[in-house]
Amino acid sequence: MKKNYFLTLLFFVVLFAINLPAQTGVEKKIIATLGPGETLANSENCFLLNKNPEYISFVTVAGSGSDKQYFCYGKDGKRTGPVKQPDAAYWAECADNVVDNCVSDDQPDLTGMEKYLDPNDGSILFKGKKFGPYGQIILFNMSPDEQYIYAIALSAEMKMLYFDNTGRKVDITGMPEQIIISPDGKTSYVKVKGSLNPFDPEALQKMINDPEETNNPKVFLFGIDGNKYGPYPSSSFNDTWFTPSGQWVIYANSEIYLNGKLLFKVDEYVSRCDIWISTTGTNYAWANYEKIMFRDGSSFIAPLTIEYIVENSKGYLKWISLEDEKNLVFYRRPF
Amino acid sequence: MDIAGRREEPRFLQKAFLIPFYKMLFHCEKIGLAGIVLLLFIFILPSPHLVFSQFSAHYEPDYKEVFGKDYEYALKTIENGRWMTDTLENDGFDPNFALAIIFPELIRYSSLIDYIQVKGLEVLYVQYGMDYADFSIGLFQMKPSFAKRIEVDLLKNSLIDKYTSLSALKPDSSETIEIRKERIIRLKNDYYQLLYLEAFICIMDNLHQELAKIAPTDKLIFYSTAYNTGYFKDSPVIMDEMTRKSFYQGLDSKSVKYSYSDISLWYYISRKER
Domain ends where: A209, A242, A275? A242
Query: Looking at the structure, do residues A165 and A54 belong to the same domain, yes or no?
Result: no
Query: Looking at the structure, do residues A54 and A144 belong to the same domain, yes or no?
Result: no
Taking CA–CA distances from A328, the nearest residue in chain B reads: B124
d(CA B211, CA B221): 11
Taking CA–CA distances from A324, the nearest residue in chain B reads: B128
Please give the model's pTM, rounded to 2 decimal places: 0.76
> Domain for residue A286, yes or no?
no
Query: Looking at the structure, do residues A149 and A67 belong to the same domain, yes or no?
Result: no
Chain B residues with CB-CB distance to A42 below 8 A: 116, 121, 133, 135
> Domain for residue A296, yes or no?
no
Q: What is the pLDDT of residue B151?
A: 94
Tell me the pLDDT tens digit for each residue of B175-233: 899 999 999 999 999 999 999 999 999 999 999 999 999 999 999 999 999 999 999 99
> Domain for residue A298, yes or no?
no
Query: Looking at the structure, do residues A140 and A44 belong to the same domain, yes or no?
Result: no
> Domain for residue A126, yes or no?
yes
Max Cα-Cα span within chain A: 92
Q: With bands split at pLDDT 50, 70 and 90, how would you rate the model's confidence at A105?
A: low
What is the least distance, in Å, from the CA of B146 to any CA of chain A? 16
Q: What is the pLDDT of residue A16?
A: 54
Query: Looking at the structure, do residues A73 and A26 belong to the same domain, yes or no?
Result: yes
Which of these ranges, A110-124, A214-228, B37-51, has the smallest mean pLDDT?
A: B37-51
Q: What is the pLDDT of residue A55?
A: 92
> Domain for residue A33, yes or no?
yes
> Residues 117..156 of B with a Cβ closer than 8 Å to A: which?
117-124, 126-128, 131-133, 135
Tell me the pLDDT tens digit for each residue of B162-176: 898 888 887 767 789
Q: What is the pLDDT of residue B170?
A: 78
Residues of chain B above pLDDT 70, percent: 77
Residue A80: give the domain boundaries: 22-102
Domain ends where: A58, A75, A102? A102
d(CA B29, CA B124): 42
Which of these ranges, A101-110, A253-262, B98-107, has the smallest mean pLDDT?
A: A101-110
Tell me the pLDDT tens digit for each residue of A33-67: 999 999 998 878 899 998 888 999 999 999 887 88
Domain ends where: A218, A242, A266? A242
Chain A residues with CB-CB distance to B135 below 8 A: 42
> Domain for residue A278, yes or no?
no
Query: Looking at the structure, do residues A79 and A154 belong to the same domain, yes or no?
Result: no
Query: Looking at the structure, do residues A144 and A237 belong to the same domain, yes or no?
Result: yes
Query: Looking at the structure, do residues A90 and A131 belong to the same domain, yes or no?
Result: no
Q: Indicate the number of domains in chain A.
A: 2
Q: What is the pLDDT of residue B57?
A: 45
State the ipTM, two decimals. Answer: 0.77
Query: Looking at the structure, do residues A139 and A208 belong to the same domain, yes or no?
Result: yes
Residue A302 predicted with pLDDT over 50? yes
Do A289 and B117 make contact, defined as CB atoms within 8 angstroms?
Answer: no
Query: Looking at the structure, do residues A88 and A185 belong to the same domain, yes or no?
Result: no
Query: Looking at the structure, do residues A71 and A184 belong to the same domain, yes or no?
Result: no
Query: Looking at the structure, do residues A173 and A133 belong to the same domain, yes or no?
Result: yes
Nearest CB to A289 within list B116, B122, B131: B122
Residue B25 predicted with pLDDT over 60? no
> Domain for residue A282, yes or no?
no
> Domain for residue A234, yes or no?
yes
Instruction: From residue B32, give the alpha-carbon distance in Å to each of A73, B19, B36, B38, B234.
Output: 56, 21, 6, 10, 18
> What does DSSP say about strands A69-73 and A255-258: parallel, antiparallel, or unpaired?
unpaired
Can you tell me the mean pLDDT for A305-310? 92
Confirm or reject contact between B177 and chain A (CB < 8 A).
Answer: yes
